Amino acid sequence: MELLYHPLSRYSQKVLLAFYEKQVNFYPRIIELSDPYSRNRFTQQYPSGKLPLLKTRSAKLLPESTIIIEYIDHQFATGTQLIPTDFEHALQVRLCDRIIDNDVSNKLYTLERMQIRVEQAPLKIKQLENEIHASFQSLNEQLSHYHWLCGDAFTMADCALIPCIMGARKRFKLYQFDQLVRYLHQAETRGSWIQVQQEIELAKTTALIGFRPIP
Ligand X SMILES: N[C@@H](CCC(=O)N[C@@H](CS)C(=O)NCC(=O)O)C(=O)O
In the list 50, 133, 169, 182, the residue contacting ligand X (rule: CB under 6 A) is 50
Give least dist CB 83 to ligand X, A. 16
In the list 2, 64, 112, 129, the residue contacting ligand X (rule: CB under 6 A) is 64
157 binds ligand X (CB under 6 A): no
Give the distance from CA 24 to its chain's centroid. Answer: 17
10 binds ligand X (CB under 6 A): yes
Give least dist CB 145 to ligand X, A. 26
In the list 1, 17, 51, 108, the residue contacting ligand X (rule: CB under 6 A) is 51
Taking the C-alpha atoms of residue 200 and residue 189, their distance in angstroms, rounded to an integer, is: 16
Nearer to ligand X, 62 or 90 (CB): 62
Nearer to ligand X, 2 or 64 (CB): 64
Please give the helix or strand (H or E) that residue 158 lies within, else none: helix 156-168
11 binds ligand X (CB under 6 A): yes
Taking the C-alpha atoms of residue 199 and residue 135, their distance in angstroms, rounded to an integer, is: 28
Q: Which range, of 62-70, 146-154, 185-193, 204-212, touches ligand X by CB under 6 A?
A: 62-70
Give Cα separations from 122 to 33, 104, 136, 138 (angstroms): 28, 19, 21, 25
Nearer to ligand X, 9 or 135 (CB): 9
DSSP notation for 53-116: EEE-TT--EEESHHHHHHHHHHH--SS--SS-SSHHHHHHHHHHHHHIIIIIIHHHHHHHHHHH
Give the gyration radius of the chain's Cα atoms: 17
Contact code string over 28-47 relative to ligand X, x by CB under 6 A: -----x--------------
Taking the C-alpha atoms of residue 208 and residue 92, their distance in angstroms, rounded to an integer, is: 40
In the list 3, 9, 20, 103, the residue contacting ligand X (rule: CB under 6 A) is 9
Contact residues toward ligand X (CB under 6 A) are: 9-11, 33, 49-52, 64-66, 101
